[in-house]
Amino acid sequence: MGRGGDVDAAGALRRFVREAGGCAVVDGGLATELEAHGADLRDELWSARCLLSAPHLIRKVHLDYLDAGANIITSASYQATIQGFQERGLSRERSEALLRRSVHIAQEARAIFAEGSSKGPFATHGIHHHRSAASSARCPVLVAASVGSYGAYLADGSEYTGEYGRSVTKETLKSFHRRRLQVLADAGPDLIAFETIPNKLEAQAYAELMEEEDIRIPAWLSFTSRDGASAASGDPIAECAAVADSCARVAAVGVNCTAPRLIHGLVLSIRKVTSKPVVVYPNSGETYVPETKEWVESDGGGASETTDFVSCVGRWRRAGAALVGGCCRTSPATVRAISRALREPDGDAASPDDDDDDLPAVAVL
């Protein structure tokens, strides 16, 4: 299941980042775009509902992000779990097939884009206008299999608090995620993105599962924060990042679905405990209200406009971020602006940790 030869995951991802121009671009919000294309996501499966009802819309959104300049696209599996599908009456076999399908849809979008069938300004035939003269082709696109937290399955907002209750232990979390991780790895993604992790306990569960299942597909652990100093649960972000640093199979560590105003300080804290690449993909700056399942304006000046969001990118990059994208309520317009900001001559794309290595790059590279 996605078993490769022994590899330094962080070194491999570092190589990919260099090939991407010094900072790789991650895609943006999926659910927001699916809704913009007419999908009804008022469901506990959220964006994963479209794996059943509208897979063509998922492919369309992936292509929109590739057109916008994304180097990494994430599968529509964040809210997709075997347990969640079975609660909807699907068989275990069908549930596992849908998990695999989420990765395959992203791979299909990548293939279409590579063939030049997608006509946006960042399609293969036009990319040279946005890259250095030394680059004769766009950096390969990676597909990341998204793994949402246990709280995402619960659909009660606990992915933003980490409050799972005392009965939920590390073994509980490993049991919940194990088969899902095996199935997603079998589908052949280039990366595994453990996203919106609210506490250290779940990070430890992921790291142990990667080892126990001998999964050698590079992964990243990405936490969510409400205060800029800790994960949502209150566990210090440095302690959470140290979990990622200690696992050789984890290639990068970072934060997502967090207000843009908090990102800079979090990157600095993470960089103090790890030399692995740092990934950041904030939300729009709004706050999610689980009771109404709505996003509302935040107190504290969250950056809700694309221009404000993108104005922070250079600062995050200088702090040490190596992969930058968007999360909830961001769009292809956000990602296009990020990509252009990073590719501009004064975009400060040089890595702060520019030690060269000759390690092979990940997966399809």
| The two three-digit tokens of residue 115, written as one number | 């063939």
In a domain, 1, yes or no: no
Predicted local distance difference test score (pLDDT) of residue 7:
59
CA distance 261 to 284: 10
Q: Which residue has the higher pLDDT, 349 or 103?
A: 103
Measure Cα distances from 286 to 44, 166, 303, 355 in Å: 21, 29, 8, 37
Lowest mean pLDDT among 96-105, 122-131, 191-200, 288-297: 122-131
- pTM as predicted: 0.86
In a domain, 363, yes or no: no
The backbone torsions φ and ψ at residue 214, rounded to the nearest 5 degrees and listed phi first, read 55, 45
Per the annotation, binding residues are 257, 327-328
Assess whether pLDDT exceeds 80 at residue 270. Answer: yes
Q: For the segment 116-138, what is each residue's pLDDT rounded down to a tens digit?
A: 855 554 444 333 233 333 333 56
Q: Which residue has the higher pLDDT, 47 or 347?
A: 47
Measure Cα distances from 325 to 139, 171, 192, 258 in Å: 16, 32, 16, 12
Rounded to a whole number, what is the largest CA-CA distance in the chain? 57
CATH code: domain of residue 97: 3.20.20.330
- Percent pLDDT > 70 in the chain is 79
In a domain, 2, yes or no: no
In a domain, 361, yes or no: no
In a domain, 360, yes or no: no
Predicted local distance difference test score (pLDDT) of residue 310:
83
Assess whether pLDDT exceeds 60 at residue 346. Answer: no
Positive or negative: CA dihedral 279, 244, 6, 104:
negative
Residue type for position 84: G
Question: What burial class does residue 30 get, using C-beta atoms within 10 Å of its C-beta: 0-12 exposed, 13-18 middle, 19+ buried?
Answer: buried
In a domain, 137, yes or no: yes
Segment 328-349 mean pLDDT: 82
Count Cβ neighbours within 10 Å for each residue of 64-100 and write b for 16 or more, e otherwise. bbbbbbbbbbbbbbbbbbbebbeeeebeeeebbebbb
Q: For the segment 225-243, what is each residue's pLDDT rounded down to a tens digit?
A: 999 999 999 999 999 999 9
CB atoms within 10 A of CB 274: 20
| Residue written as token pair 């082709």 | 137
CA distance 108 to 284: 28
Assess whether pLDDT exceeds 80 at residue 352. Answer: no
CA distance 175 to 182: 12
Give me the helices (H) in the chain, please.
Answer: 9-19, 31-36, 49-53, 55-67, 82-87, 92-114, 150-154, 170-186, 200-212, 237-246, 260-271, 306-311, 313-319, 332-343
Segment 138-144 mean pLDDT: 88
Segment 258-277 mean pLDDT: 96
Per the annotation, binding residues for Zn(2+) are 257, 327-328
Structural domain total, the chain: 1
CB atoms within 10 A of CB 125: 9
In a domain, 192, yes or no: yes
Segment 191-203 mean pLDDT: 98
Q: State the residue range of the domain holding 85.
A: 9-343
DSSP at 82: H
Give DSSP secondary structure letters for 337-365: HHHHHHHSTTS--S-TT-----PPPSTT-
In a domain, 359, yes or no: no
Assess whether pLDDT exceeds 90 at residue 142. Answer: yes
| The two three-digit tokens of residue 363, written as one number | 């997966």
Predicted local distance difference test score (pLDDT) of residue 134:
30
Average pLDDT of the chain to the nearest whole number: 84
Predicted local distance difference test score (pLDDT) of residue 127:
32
Predicted local distance difference test score (pLDDT) of residue 119:
56
Q: Which residue has the higher pLDDT, 288 or 122?
A: 288
Segment 286-290 mean pLDDT: 58
26 pLDDT band, cuts 50/70/90, is very high
